[in-house]
Structure 1
Amino acid sequence: MTSMHPSGPGNLRLIFPQWQGAAGAGAVGSLPAGQPHQTQLSYHLGPALLELLSPEHDGPTGYVTVSTDTSDEAVETVNGIYARAAVLRQLRDGLRVVSEHAPASVVTFGGECSVSVAPFSYLASRYGADLAVLWVDAHPDTGMPGDSYTGFRSMSLATLAGEGDPEFLAALPAVVPPSNILHVGLQDWQDPGIANKQRMGIASVGITDTPEDTRKILDWLALTGAAKLAVHVDLDVLDRRDFSGATGGGTRGMRVPDLLRIIDALGDAGEIVGLSLAQHAPLELLRLGGLLRELPV
């Protein structure tokens, strides 16, 4: 089993329901007409459900206040980043919340993928070169401001690795060297961020449903020399046969038993001090909420 105990001392559970990193009102599916931005706001609902369904937690819990303002001004694209002002403000708030608790480890429930930037940057400042990051995601998340897709979630890993908007980078207490980052389960090799990922030297391990995948990950970890691990899990990496509450596409993703096998192996090889679950998009519950608003309940 992993060496991280979710209810143990020194662990912070961070609830970070950020949705603004997903650009565009139709970013995660479709809802009935007249509900602009509700698909994005499903990311705001997801963390609450993750917290509700998770085992009891006897450590501290921190909450990042996230605006639900969907006005044109609030979601304006500035310097190539959608809703830039809100995302930057919430990044700083997330860093403040984590730093005030000064935890030895952090479990984060998001929100879209950029919720990992604040806690992982904090962990990088605490553990330095002894921290390795595994980014379990179907997409590279190594885009840059000015790319065709303006959502900050697509830039989150590049920012964590030290490239991107200067004001965002200035807010971070530390970044993670690309040599200490491994991408696991990457599926979208046509994403514009792939060129940046390759230029930065971020390594990848694909998932073929065999123990060979785990061996490659452990070999990479041994080369880094890091003993502390932060693991980002974008739920869209999962195969739709196992989980459909995210924005992944089809039955070519990672199976849940493979994810658990990898996490257990990592816990045996080092100490997992960071774990993020992101991109939970409970669209059906939003649709249900829309129905309830129309019924005389």
Structure 2
Amino acid sequence: MIKNKREHKRAALIYFPQWQGSGLTRELQIGAQTLFDYFHEGSPLRVPLSDEPLDTKYNISGYHPLLTQLKSAEDLLYKNQPEKLVLIAGDCASEIAPIDYLNSRYDGQLTVIWLDAHADLNTPESSPSGHFHGMPLRLLLDGGFDGVPLRTSMRVKSQQVILAGLRDPDAPEQVYIIQNSISVLNGMLGWKQKLLDLVAEKISTYVYIHLDLDVLDPASFPCVKCPTPAGFDSKELNACLNQILDNYCVVGMALTETTARTQEELEPIKDILDTYKRYIDGAYAN
């Protein structure tokens, strides 16, 4: 990984409370609002939600509102051209436009750290549920799905991706990981140093951090859409985030998939949220 010193600069705050990728419940819209209330300051960039019916097409539940919102997010990013951003969002499929935008802006020199209990590598054909939040990383890697009019502007290459905290992959996702030699951090023992070592091995100049909060141990932070046993300790994860922020040029960070309804429910991850706040304020020089 090449360090790239940059001037202190605020990150654009993107608010995208998309929920349709997770099924028929608005839990993630409420959770995104709770997160946003913690961060709300200045003039955030808001991705509007569609009120189109939750139809199923190409085996993607909620296809048309998701397609409309993806286009709205793309338009918002390309109009405003942020150099750095923080995404406060509902479901993981909200990541498609920000990562695609930054990968294109930085000409493919982007390492994507995918902190998630799930791989999000399904296709419409392989998905057991048809929920789009289980497909975004696969769409980013493949650039599109066969027969589906969803496309990214620039494919993310498999060597750009690190999967960390993965505990519940589907069988087709496991096959895809092996076939494409995607870097995966297995197990919880010594995970922090292993992740930092994997980041150091990458040659990309810039870093994007996707954080699905179900990567955390649900025993300490249960307010997530898809809780998965075991997981990272929040304080150790926060220390890891700070080491990455101190040493690499992070151009984007995201928080997704919480169902928290109150600020009190966010208390177990306050250290992480404050790190994101500092990043928004330009506290990190890289």
Shorter-chain-normalised TM-score: which range?
0.7 to 0.9
1:281 Cα shift? Answer: 1.6
Distance 1:10 1:175 in 2: 27
Distance 1:47 1:247 in 2: 12
The answer to which of 276-285 and 45-54 deviates more is 276-285
Match of 2:254 in 1: 276
Q: Deviations over 1:60-108 (max 9, x none)?
A: 4111111355xxxx21211121111111111111111111110111101
Q: Deviations over 1:240-297 (max 9, x none)?
A: 2321110343651111012112211211331111111111123689xxxxxxxxxxxx
Match of 2:160 in 1: 180
Match of 1:66 in 2: 49
The answer to which of 8-17 and 237-246 deviates more is 8-17
Match of 1:124 in 2: 103
Q: 1:144 aligns with which of 112, 116, 123?
A: 123
Matches within 5 A, 1:1-297: 9=9, 11-23=11-23, 25=24, 40-54=25-39, 57-58=41-42, 60-68=43-51, 74-147=53-126, 148-165=128-145, 166-169=148-151, 172-210=152-190, 213-249=191-227, 251-282=229-260
Distance 2:33 2:149 in 1: 29
Distance 2:33 2:228 in 1: 26
1:10 Cα shift? Answer: 5.0
1:207 Cα shift? Answer: 4.8
Q: Deviations over 1:176-228 (max 9, x none)?
A: 11100000000103454222232232211135253xx2332233223321121
1:230 Cα shift? Answer: 0.5
TM-score by length of 1: 0.79
Distance 2:44 2:73 in 1: 12
TM-score by length of 2: 0.81
What RMSD over aligned residues (CA atoms) do the two structures have, in Å? Answer: 2.2
Match of 1:288 in 2: none
Match of 1:35 in 2: none
Distance 1:132 1:268 in 2: 16
1:134 Cα shift? Answer: 0.4
Unaligned runs of 5+ in 2: 264-286
* Higher gyration radius (CA): 1
Does structure 1 conserve the Cα–Cα contact (< 8 Å) formed by 2:120 and 2:137?
Answer: yes
Does structure 2 conserve the Cα–Cα contact (< 8 Å) formed by 1:10 and 1:103?
Answer: no
SS at match of 1:132: strand
Does structure 2 conserve the Cα–Cα contact (< 8 Å) formed by 1:239 and 1:255?
Answer: yes
Match of 2:270 in 1: none
1:42 Cα shift? Answer: 1.4
Does structure 1 conserve the Cα–Cα contact (< 8 Å) formed by 2:143 and 2:154?
Answer: no
Unaligned runs of 5+ in 1: 26-39, 286-297
**Number of residue equivalences:** 254
Q: Which has the higher contact order (CA 8 A, sep 6+)?
A: 2
CA gap of 1:223–1:42, structure 2 versus 1, over 3 A, is: same
Task: Give me the identity figure in percent.
Answer: 25
Does structure 2 conserve the Cα–Cα contact (< 8 Å) formed by 1:41 and 1:68?
Answer: no
Does structure 1 conserve the Cα–Cα contact (< 8 Å) formed by 2:14 and 2:44?
Answer: yes
